[in-house]
């Protein structure tokens, strides 16, 4: 499969990506745990059907030390016993924040309150922004049909 647009080689798209990547760098430097960030990126990418991002973030998470068991169970996190309560709250918020069109009321007060029990205000801001940013990346890659499978850890810096 070929991409519809060489988004990663296009000068204008490169400007857009630099801004998204700057946001991603701010998020990676936040106090939101890296493990939570990886889980959220993977789960949103799975929901959206973004193979490129699922490939990338799964490989990055494994490189950072995430276990195969946890990586294999992200899509079934509700039934899995390998995630902490904080991770479960982040995954629920990520799912509801990703499936906004499917949820009549958007993100529920219950999901927000659960996340707020586990994360402080900075972390909630980072989590909210992370959900928005990974959804933006997913949409860019889905629309342009970026092929999955060829990502190498650290490829984008």
Cα gap 70→77, rounded to integer Å? 9
- Parse the chain into domains and list their residue ranges: 11-143
Q: Is the pLDDT of residue 1 over 80?
A: no
**Token digits for 64?**
């950072």
Mean pLDDT, the chain, integer: 94
pLDDT at 138: 97
Q: Is the pLDDT of residue 135 over 90?
A: yes
Q: Is the pLDDT of residue 141 over 90?
A: yes
Q: Is the pLDDT of residue 108 over 90?
A: yes
Average pLDDT estimate for 109-120: 98
**Among 48, 152, 149, 57, which Cα is nearest to 100's?**
48
Band of pLDDT at residue 101, cut at 50, 70 and 90: confident
Cα gap 135→149, rounded to integer Å? 19
Cα gap 141→74, rounded to integer Å? 21
Band of pLDDT at residue 109, cut at 50, 70 and 90: very high
Domain 11-143 in this protein, CATH class:
mainly alpha
**Among 154, 106, 156, which Cα is nearest to 128's?**
106
Q: Is the pLDDT of residue 2 over 80?
A: yes
Phi, psi of 86 (to 5 degrees): -65, -45
Cα gap 87→124, rounded to integer Å? 13
Per residue in 25-65, pLDDT (tens digit) is: 999 999 999 999 999 999 999 999 999 999 999 999 999 99
Give the rounded distance of the alpha carbon of 15 from its chain centre.
21
**Token digits for 1?**
């499969």
Per residue in 73-82, pLDDT (tens digit) is: 999 999 999 9
């Amino acid at each position: 499969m070929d991409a519809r647009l060489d988004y990663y080689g296009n000068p204008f798209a490169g400007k857009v990506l630099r801004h998204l990547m700057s946001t991603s760098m701010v998020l990676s430097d936040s106090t939101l745990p890296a493990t939570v960030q990886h889980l959220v990126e993977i789960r949103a990418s799975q929901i959206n059907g973004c193979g490129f991002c699922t490939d990338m973030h799964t490989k990055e998470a494994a490189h950072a030390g995430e276990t195969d068991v946890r990586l294999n169970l992200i899509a079934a996190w509700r039934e899995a016993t390998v995630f902490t309560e904080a991770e479960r709250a982040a995954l629920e918020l990520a799912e509801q924040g990703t499936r906004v069109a499917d949820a009549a009321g958007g993100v529920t007060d219950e999901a927000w309150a659960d996340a707020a029990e586990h994360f402080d205000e900075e972390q909630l801001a980072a989590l909210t922004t992370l959900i928005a940013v990974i959804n933006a990346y997913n949409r860019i890659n889905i629309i342009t049909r970026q092929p999955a499978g060829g990502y190498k850890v650290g490829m984008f810096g």
